[in-house]
Structure 1
Amino acid sequence: MTDEKLIGRQDPIPEVPLKEKEEYLTLIEEFLGRQWLAKDNYGPFQQLWNRRDVLSTIELLSFGSALKTFKGKVTEGIYRKAANEIKSKDQGNSAAKIFEIVSSSMFENESQRIEIPKENNPGYDFLVNLKNGSKIRFSVKALLDSKHANEFKSFSQELNRDLPQMLNDHYSIFLIQQDFNITNKYSHSILKRGLREIIMKRSFGVPFVSQNNWILRLDKMEPMIGENFYNQKPSYTLLTLCPHQKNEQSRFYSKIQDACDNLKKHCSDVDNSSTNGIIIKVPDSIAISDATKWLNEFWDQQHDCISIVIIMRASYTSSDDLSQSWLTYEFSQVSNPKSKVQISELAPETLTVQVPIGKVSTSETKAIIHVYDKEVTLSGSYWYFSGRHIYQKPMELQNGNVTFNFKRLPNVHVSCVFTGFPDGDLEMSARFPPSEDLLIL
């Protein structure tokens, strides 16, 4: 076995032997198929497989590690069926199976062991055997971004693609839509026309409010201290915000209720040695604290065979000064006060969770961004942040090389144009992820 699959990839865990990392990537290739993975930008796995940045490697190695655990727990038939589900065009089923594989592997450690049921054993997705002999059956659910969230992101991406042709200087653009309605194309044209007007007028720092509830602000953007922007291609950042649609809570309840109904139908017998639980993944647009609050308002007597719900979300987080980044798995463990079996009695010790790369946290990562010297909280909103920063440096050779210290900015493409070359300007960029959105975790 060679480490050829890691050639050209940024390696997030150099301390782990190459052989082990190669094993994880080989498992994925054999599981999903080399030809299927080679389809460029076809789906999340193909995008990650064809990228070489650090975040793509983190996601693939994390899944490969989980896949190794999963493979050792199931029959060949279940293993192949899982591959087909992941490769299916049904995004919901694919995401659910990926999350089932990833989440179950987190509970396999020295303190507890997992079992994955046979195909004809409905009701739960995996079982955790605790050291004290107790068992918890878990139903796994993945809540994806809503239609409204996806439409808002799609529109924001469209606006981001149009911006470079609209700009005449270096700008920070902050946009809020009070009531997003993707079907209102007229509203979008109003926004773009208003944006063009304030760009032409260079109306910096003045809010623009349209008749369609758009609030828009434009500010002059300054480069990093000691650096200069390249004036032939405007640099910019774009932040768009929109409040949640009212159906986010009901979508969450629907997933929880579906798991409850299935467990009650097939696994209603609970006692002091065996009970049920739910693990649910929520998207970035839903705060863990909000989901925890919703869940505490959800319980009633019909859910008395469910002892615990674990709310989970993975995110790529950064230190305040952006000098460090890491993968964080956020967990919130919510007990059901109406359950026949209290989880504190069945499992006095906290369930143990382990991940191959990154950190596990019971504290919620704060989704904040600094806008005009103020902290803007992104929780409870759909949001999109992107941009490009293009710097300029004269050609100054140092030991035959030109250098520029690229500072990572989440979701912002950073490059530098070196001027003064005989054949014209040369633009170079570091290898950053195209986005810091996670595609499979």
Structure 2
Amino acid sequence: MERQYPSDISQQLIDQALEKIKVVFTSKWLKNSLENHIIGILWNRTDFISTLELYTFGRALIIMDNINAQWLKGQIKQIKGNNENRQRGAFFEIIALSYLVHSSYTIIPAPNSQAGFDASLKPSSSNFPETKLSIKNYGRSIHDRKFEEYGSKLEKTIQDSMKKVGLYYAEFFVVFDGSSSLMSEDWENLLLKIPSFIKKFKNANRTHNKIPIPMRFRINNSWFINIHQSSIKQLELHQRVTSYSLIVSAPYHHNEFLNLYEKLDNAHANFTKHSTNLTSNLILIHLPLTISMTQCEKWTKQYFEDNPGALAQIVIFYQCAVTSNLEDSTRYLTHTFHFVQNPYQPLFKQLLYISTPVGVYSTDSIPIQLIDRNNSTLLAPVENYYIYQRGAFYNKLVEIEPGVHEMETKLLAPGVRQFTILEEKGKFLTIGGNFELTDELLIL
């Protein structure tokens, strides 16, 4: 399948970036890493989003190779290694420093063997101090990853249970609202009960029902489960293939903030060793989309309250997301840079210039909403919640006039895909598009 290219960037620029990746990593290494490495997985994909990620990374390689080729070799070695945390850290250091390159200052990456700050920004004007830069990758916490793991188990249980009772279509909305943090026992209880809920829903919605009957269930005042169908969807879907959607949400674990505090503690310890009264101190933190930037700002302000001697003058949170315009269904990268000033330190006086090769900018947290596709209403608040969303809808082939058929395949929402089923003489052919399963970015 041919690679998808965005219309607002020249194919020549993208091909140059892809060629740089191929030269740096070698074709043989990329071919051997197609299934077990982040860059290999992206290289093997041809969808629109993978092209944007590879283009951004390839451009960063070109820029940083000109800044310090030896430093870049050390970062590439980390990326090729087996430690995922170091891989992601190296990806972000390369990309982040490439964003900051400007003629107003010189970027000096710290030696790869040096433990401490990650780069210095030396201004060309004596009016500004040198800046010590600490680059951190927040990374997904064990609680976040566990939520996704159990969400996947729940999805499989729902699929199996629907097939067992002959339920061809249902939509599930599952919320944990217990008084304490979500635990494994809560998940196991849900996995145990969900098959019986599906059976009850199937029995309540026999094929002769003209209007689907939604059903709601509670488990120990902790889980809320809503199972429903859309009468419009019922007409569109193929009844011999299982169609479903699943949204699961739960509040952040009460210890989630410790992941951020660890990064801030580490940066402070290194600034203590390497900075002086004549330097400015900046922390740049890469956030996954599963973590609220607004909440991180609150945690950071609390950290400064609890640690008034922290040397960082400012913390910049960076979060990149695939965002969608609900009005015209266009999708693009949004880069958010959010600044949090330390009230116990002098104002940060260095001028920073940030430039990304593709996408739009924002300084506000990216709004994430769960929208009902049928009436565009907000389903639930998602701020400070872990979210798991998956689904697949299999539509019938539509005959719009004798001998003329219409079919549509698309990504309805992150993790939710729409297919068309062609059926002839009892055989099925599934038609799908070239799009990624979720909007989770692998390196940005």
Shorter-chain TM-score above 0.5: yes
Contact 1:322–1:409 under 8 Å retained in 2 = no
Distance 1:144 1:202, change over 3 A: farther
Distance 1:194 1:129, change over 3 A: farther
In 2, Cα distance between equivalents of 1:238 and 1:161 = 11
Match of 1:208 among 217, 242, 247: 217
* Equivalent residue number for residue 21 of structure 2: 28
* Equivalent residue number for residue 220 of structure 1: 229
Distance 1:247 1:11, change over 3 A: same
1:251 aligns with 2:259: yes
In 1, Cα distance between equivalents of 2:341 and 2:422 = 58
**Aligned positions of 1:342-381 closer than 5 A:** 342-343=347-348, 346-347=349-350, 349=351, 351-371=352-372, 373-381=377-385
What is the SS of the residue equivalent to 1:115? strand
Coordinate RMSD, CA, aligned: 2.6
**How many Å apart are 1:43 and its aligned residue?**
2.6
* Equivalent residue number for residue 180 of structure 1: 182
Distance 1:287 1:394, change over 3 A: closer
What is the SS of the residue equivalent to 1:262? helix
Letter in 2 for 1:195: F
Distance 1:190 1:122, change over 3 A: closer
Deviates more, 1:181-190 or 1:134-143: 181-190
Letter in 2 for 1:171: A
Letter in 2 for 1:68: I
Letter in 2 for 1:333: F
Letter in 2 for 1:174: F
**How many Å apart are 1:245 and its aligned residue?**
0.6
**How many Å apart are 1:139 and its aligned residue?**
0.4
1:81 aligns with 2:74: yes
Contact 2:410–2:432 under 8 Å retained in 1 = no
Match of 1:198 among 188, 197, 200: 200
Letter in 2 for 1:147: I
In 2, Cα distance between equivalents of 1:363 and 1:412 = 26
**How many Å apart are 1:110 and its aligned residue?**
4.6
Deviates more, 1:187-196 or 1:376-385: 187-196
Match of 1:386 among 377, 387, 390: 390
* Equivalent residue number for residue 59 of structure 1: 53
In 1, Cα distance between equivalents of 2:168 and 2:78 = 48
Letter in 2 for 1:325: R
Q: Percent identity?
A: 21
* Equivalent residue number for residue 302 of structure 1: 309
* Equivalent residue number for residue 430 of structure 2: 427
Distance 1:132 1:147, change over 3 A: same
Contact 1:394–1:418 under 8 Å retained in 2 = no
* Equivalent residue number for residue 3 of structure 1: none
What is the SS of the residue equivalent to 1:355? coil
List 4+ stretches of structure 1 deviating above 6 A: 395-398
* Equivalent residue number for residue 287 of structure 1: 292
**How many Å apart are 1:30 and its aligned residue?**
2.6
Letter in 1 for 2:290: S
What is the SS of the residue equivalent to 1:165? helix
Letter in 2 for 1:169: Y
**How many Å apart are 1:176 and its aligned residue?**
1.6
Q: What is the CA deviation profile of residues 1-41 of structure 1, one whole-angstrom value per residue up to 9, with x for unaligned ones?
A: xxxxxx710112x4433332122112222323333322332
* Equivalent residue number for residue 168 of structure 2: 169
In 1, Cα distance between equivalents of 2:69 and 2:38 = 26
Match of 2:141 among 140, 146, 154: 146
In 2, Cα distance between equivalents of 1:119 and 1:84 = 10
Letter in 2 for 1:253: Y
In 2, Cα distance between equivalents of 1:82 and 1:288 = 27
What is the SS of the residue equivalent to 1:83? helix
**How many Å apart are 1:394 and its aligned residue?**
4.6
* Equivalent residue number for residue 241 of structure 1: 249
Contact 2:398–2:405 under 8 Å retained in 1 = no
Distance 1:57 1:249, change over 3 A: same
In 2, Cα distance between equivalents of 1:175 and 1:331 = 32
Distance 1:235 1:41, change over 3 A: same
Query: TM-score of the superposition, structure 1-length normalised?
Result: 0.87
**How many Å apart are 1:91 and its aligned residue?**
1.4
Unaligned runs of 5+ in 1: 1-6
In 2, Cα distance between equivalents of 1:370 and 1:282 = 23
Letter in 1 for 2:86: N
Contact 2:332–2:359 under 8 Å retained in 1 = yes
In 2, Cα distance between equivalents of 1:105 and 1:223 = 49
What is the SS of the residue equivalent to 2:228? strand
- Report the count of equivalent residues: 421
Q: What is the CA deviation profile of residues 293-348 of structure 1, one whole-angstrom value per residue up to 9, with x for unaligned ones?
A: 11112223421x32211011111111124611111111111121212x421xx23x
Contact 2:410–2:419 under 8 Å retained in 1 = no
Distance 1:53 1:250, change over 3 A: same
In 2, Cα distance between equivalents of 1:401 and 1:87 = 51
Contact 1:170–1:222 under 8 Å retained in 2 = no
Contact 1:393–1:417 under 8 Å retained in 2 = yes
In 2, Cα distance between equivalents of 1:61 and 1:439 = 13
Contact 2:334–2:362 under 8 Å retained in 1 = yes
1:68 aligns with 2:62: yes
In 1, Cα distance between equivalents of 2:77 and 2:200 = 51
* Equivalent residue number for residue 4 of structure 1: none
In 2, Cα distance between equivalents of 1:65 and 1:388 = 35
Letter in 1 for 2:94: I
In 2, Cα distance between equivalents of 1:380 and 1:240 = 13
Query: TM-score of the superposition, structure 2-length normalised?
Result: 0.87
Contact 2:397–2:406 under 8 Å retained in 1 = no
* Equivalent residue number for residue 337 of structure 1: 343
